[in-house]
Every structure is written in structure tokens, then in C-alpha cells.
Amino acid sequence: MITGKNQIGNQQSALGSVTFKTYNPELNIENEQLFYEASEEEVDKAAELAKDAFKIYRNISGSKRATFLNAIADEILALDDLLIRTYCSETGLPEGRAKGERGRTVGQLRSFANLIEDENWRAPTIDEAIPNREPAPKPDLRKFLIPIGPIAVFGASNFPLAYSTAGGDTASALAAGCPVIVKSHPMHAGTGQLVATAVINAAQKTGMPDGVFSNLNSSGIEVGKQLVQHPHVKGVGFTGSIKGGRALYDLAAKRPEPIPVFAEMGSINPVIITENALKRRASELASTYADSITLGTGQFCTNPGLILSVESEAFSAFIQELGDKVIAKDPQCMLHPNIKKGYTNKRDLVSDQSGLQVVAEYYSELAENYAPPRITTVNGTEFLENSKLHEEVFGPFSLAVQCSDEDQLLKIIESLEGQLTGTIIAEDEDVPDLGVLVDTLRERVGRIIFNGVPTGVEVCESMTHGGPYPASTDSRFTAVGINAIRRWVRPFSYQDFPKALLPEVLK
């Protein structure tokens, strides 16, 4: 079923001369299947098909698009063990993670299907005419949300299902009435093709237009650049590095017709622990955060990479216990040798900065692509003076900052770039005094967690997965939950229109 070809609408194609293979990081070998990178001609064909499909798809009823989304979910489940085996062979992640992510992907598709069963999600408003109003008549105005056009979606390295081919960006765009062209991630191209086949099967079974979905292979950056610059593409969804997301954002802004890029680009997710919490439950917190830091080998955008508290004996003891519990855990395989290399280089760069101390590190011999975790600490003054300490280390790493006092802690929070999350660990008696901290943190993050961990993003209407730049390129929107659909629509008004020409929801 995996051919290595590109999915251009309903047809598979392999016109390009560039080929590549995926990699099994657990076995430290290349997988056998050869993949064909999309040629410029294939990119153009996918965009042309998407443009034509949009003319039809935007007018298909929400209930029929819901049927399509549910059919995609059914087709993904029908791939069964083949999908799980392929996922694991391309990521080094365990079977349980693969099945959990598949469940999340299916759940996202069904939640958007439920949303669009009726048209209320379009936020229709009607202001009827008042022809006799003085000094001037009031016109009849009716407004709702309409899809913006074909969307380019970039698959994420760390979520081959939930943030990739049929993940949240694709599901929300298809729900909105926008065709999707996926730039498949080269690290899991086989998983991507299987899911793309599921989407196409669902499209054909439910009568969707040819071109409503395409999946393009790429081992480099050229296909992505062509997509973002293509005049038929009207929006971009991206999950990945700041460097990659910003490059796409700049390309889109330089087009003759600029288009929106909704990029979610990672975070260090500060965690603030109060003195009372350290006194009452330091050991419990060390265990909880050792689990969170090492979850998925630290390969989550919500990994707790920064822990803050006022310096004290209790905080010093907590940092040491956290380090001990982190390195007591068995290291895990990272997604790819390049990601392991990136982790090692960034971890060592941060660790070499002035004033930073390594508290704990796993020193035993490891398999080739396994990541040794590391816990470090630094004082608040050094942290404020060195911006390199503010950067994300993608892997099982965290930096504990020992602040001189509460004022310095607040100053550190104000100095941070935008983040996806912030967490406050506190006791009940702390609550009356947390107002300034909450207000300060709220300006830097998209979500605040109280007495929890940032890892684990619930898919629901109230979730905000985004934040001030560079956590995301537009903090007004979320990449998770049903409100993610609002990225792919724009408001549109009808004035003094005959009712026969109005959409049903505006009549």
C-alpha cells in the first residue's frame, strides 16, 4: 500500500528525480521504501486541482463535509496494524504512543464533524433593514464566516498523526470548506502516505471533488517554498521550529498577495513553584516533573524546560531530587538521528554558558539514538543577562532558575519571549497573593496551568494552544480544539440581498 509516490488529488504520481528513505531510529537503519520528492510540475498540479476543487467544496453543506471527516476517521482506523507498525518503524516511538495518537487524530476529526453538522459555527448575524430610519435608512446586513481557499499544511516531526497528514490543521481546514495540500514530513513519509490514502478513499466514497486533498513528499525545503509562494494557496498551517516557521511566515508576507501563516513554533513553558509548595510536597513535585520532562523523550512543544522559584534550601533540595529522579528513568529513543544531534548540540551550548551548573546527567552507555537527560541550574541574574539560556532545548532537558526574590522572578517572566504555557505550583494559602504573578504570566503565555504539568494538551473548545510570538505567529488563534477552524475563514457580509440568493443560515 506504500508506494512512495505523491498523492496529487485522486492520482498517485512520481515525476521527480529526487528520492529519499525514512529512518528507523530504534534499529539505527534506513527503512527500505523509496519516496519520490514532488517535482515543481506536481506541486503546480496539486495547487491547480485544489483551486478547482475549492469552487465546489466551499458550497458543499456542512453535514456532507461532516460525513467526509467521519469517513476519514473510519479509513484511518481501518489501516489497523499496518499504520501502527509503520509509525513505530519511522519514529522509534512505542506502540502505545502510536495508538494513543491515532485515537487523538480520530477524535479531532469527529469533533470537527460534530461542529459543522449545522451552520452555527459560521457565527451568522442578521441586522434587518430600517428603511424609515432618520436621518438615513438602515440597510439590511447579514454576515457569516466563509472559507479562504486552499491551505498548505506542513507535517510535524514529533506527531506523525495528530499534527500531520490528517491532524488538527488538516481536519480544521477541511471542516471549514478549504481543500488541503500536505507537505509530508520526510521523517515519517510512509505513515503520511498511508493516512493520505485514507483521506482519498474517504473523499471518493463521500463524493468530494478531485483535488480536495493532496499529499506531497519532500526531503528538503523546495516543495514547501513552492507551496507557500503558489498563488492558489491562501493559507498555511505549520508546527515545528522557530527557524522553519519564521521562514515560511516571511515568504508568505513577501508574496504579491500576502497570506496568513499559522505557525506553532515551540516553547520552554515556565513553571513557577511557591515556597509553600516546596515545603509541603517537594518530593511529589520532583516525581511529577521528572515524568513530564522525560515524557516522549522530551519531544513535546509543551515540555517544561524552565523551572523558577526564589532561592532557598528547599528549592536547592528539590532541584537535586528532580535531577536524581530524572536520571533514574531509562532513557528513550529520539525520533531521528538529526533530532538527537540537534538535542545534543543545543543542550551542550546552553550547558556551557557562564554560571550554569549541571545538576544531574545520565552517563551510562546508550544505544545510538537514545537521549541522555540533563537537569541544570543557574541563578536569576545570570539568566536575565544571557538570552541563550532562554532558548528551547528539544529533548529531556530542563533549567531551574534560582531567583534572588519575588521581584526578580517577575522580571524574569517579563523578559521571556512568548510561550505556549505557564504553570503555577502553589498552595491554597498562596492564592490571595498570586494576582500579580498571574497577570504577569498571562502576558507571556497562551495558557496557564495551576498545580499541574504543561505536557498533555486536551482537545476541547476551551483549549488555547498558541501564544505570543514566537510560540505562535498569531496569538489570537489556537491550533488545538474546534476553534482552530477560525484560522481558515474570513467574515463576509451581504447587503440588501434578495433572500433567494442568501445562504440558508442567513435567511
CB-based burial label for 386 (10 Å; 0-12, 13-18, 19+): middle
All three cell numbers of 278: 516546596
Condensed to tens digits (0 to 9), the pLDDT of residues 368-408 reads 999 999 999 999 999 999 999 999 999 999 999 999 999 99
In this model, does residue 474 exceed pLDDT 90?
A: yes
User: Residue 284 pLDDT > 90, yes or no?
Assistant: yes
Tens-place pLDDT, residues 188-243: 999 999 999 999 999 999 999 999 999 999 999 999 999 999 999 999 999 999 99
* Closest alpha carbon to 357 in 384, 388, 392, 382: 382
How many Cβ atoms sit within 10 Å of the Cβ of residue 155? 30
pLDDT bin (cut points 50, 70, 90) of residue 282 is very high
Range 428-432 average pLDDT: 98
pLDDT at residue 289 is higher than 90: yes
CATH 3.40.309.10 range(s) for the chain read: 270-450
- pLDDT exceeds 90 at position 339: yes
Question: For 283-306, what is the mean pLDDT?
Answer: 97
Region 424-449: mean pLDDT is: 98
Give the model's confidence band at 1: pLDDT under 50 very low, under 70 low, under 90 confident, else very high: confident
Q: Does domain 6-120+151-265+472-506 have CATH number 1.10.10.10?
A: no
Residue 240, C-beta contacts closer than 8 angstroms, at least 6 positions apart: 154, 156, 157, 263, 265, 266
Identify the pLDDT of residue 266. Answer: 84
Q: Is 430 helix (H, G, I), strand (E, B) or coil?
A: helix
Average of per-residue pLDDT values in the chain: 97
Could you read off the pLDDT of 326-337 as tens digits, one per residue?
Answer: 999 999 999 999
CA angle (436 as vertex; 431, 442 as ends), nearest 5 = 100
Q: What is residue 232's predicted lDDT score, i.e. its pLDDT? A: 98
Gap between the Cα atoms of 40 and 147, Å rounded: 26
CATH 3.40.605.10-classified regions of the chain: 6-120+151-265+472-506
- Asked if the model's pLDDT at residue 489 lies above 90, the reply is yes
Neighbours of 119 (CB within 10 A): 17
- Whether the CB-CB separation of 16 and 182 falls below 8 Å is answered with no
What are φ and ψ of residue 212, in 5° steps? Answer: -65, -20
Q: Give the whole-number percent of the chain exceeding pLDDT 70.
A: 100
Residue 142: its pLDDT value, please?
Answer: 98
| Encoded amino acid at 76, one letter | I
pLDDT at 314: 97
Catalytic site positions: 264, 301
Sign for the CA dihedral angle at 27, 28, 32, 36 comes to positive
**Percent of the chain scored above 90 by pLDDT?**
99
SS (H, E, C) 98-148: HHHHHHHHHHHHHHHHHHCCCCHHHCCEEECCECCCCCCCECCEEEEEEEC
The rounded distance, in Å, linking the Cα atoms of 210 and 11 is: 9
- At 243 the pLDDT is 94
User: pLDDT tens digit string along 79-138?
Assistant: 999 999 999 999 999 999 999 999 999 999 999 999 999 999 999 999 999 999 999 999
Top-level CATH class of 270-450?
A: alpha beta
